[in-house]
Amino acid sequence: PFEVVLAKSGLTLQVPVGVSCLKVLRDAGTAVDWSCSEGVCGTCETEVLEGEPDHRDAVLTPSERASNETMMPCVSRARSARIVLNL
Ligand code: FES
């Protein structure tokens, strides 16, 4: 599990094991565009302000992954206990 903080709204959400970050965001009423929900289309790409994503998508290049500037919340998670998204 990890905590996701939404920088614009100030909301803090818990992402349980087995539930996607995208689902938690959507259930909280956050507007995130998405399409495939499988980490292949790139539609849900979201800017990361703090924390280290655990990238599980097939979209980002190795250097984009290493930069930790964006993530695909439909499949990717967090290595850090807390991640801050520009949402
Ligand atoms: Fe397609 Fe996330 S919805 S990569």
Distances in Å between the Cα of 17 and the Cα atoms of 2, 5, 10 are 8, 17, 22
From 71, 74, 87, give the residue whose CB has the most ligand 1 atoms within 8 Å, as the site to mutate: 74
Q: What spacing in Å lies between the alpha carbon of 58 and ligand 1's midpoint?
A: 9
Query: pTM for the whole thing?
Result: 0.95
Q: Is 34 in the pocket of ligand 1 (CB under 6 A)?
A: yes
Residue from 32, 29, 7 nearest 86 by CA: 7
Residue from 58, 80, 71 nearest 21 by CA: 71
Q: What spacing in Å lies between the alpha carbon of 25 and ligand 1's midpoint?
A: 13
* pLDDT at 59 (0 to 100): 97
Q: Is 35 in the pocket of ligand 1 (CB under 6 A)?
A: yes
- ipTM value: 0.99
Mean confidence (pLDDT) of the chain: 97
How many percent of the chain have pLDDT more than 90?
100
For residue range 34-75, what is the model confidence (pLDDT) as tens digits?
999 999 999 999 999 999 999 999 999 999 999 999 999 999
Q: How confident is the model at residue 27 (pLDDT cuts 50, 70, 90)?
A: very high
Q: Which residues, 6 or more positions from 69, have their beta carbon under 8 angstroms from its beta carbon? A: 47, 48
Closest Cα to atom 4, ligand 1: which residue?
A: 39
Greatest CA span in the chain, whole angstroms? 31
Q: What residues does 14 pair with on adjacent strands?
A: 3
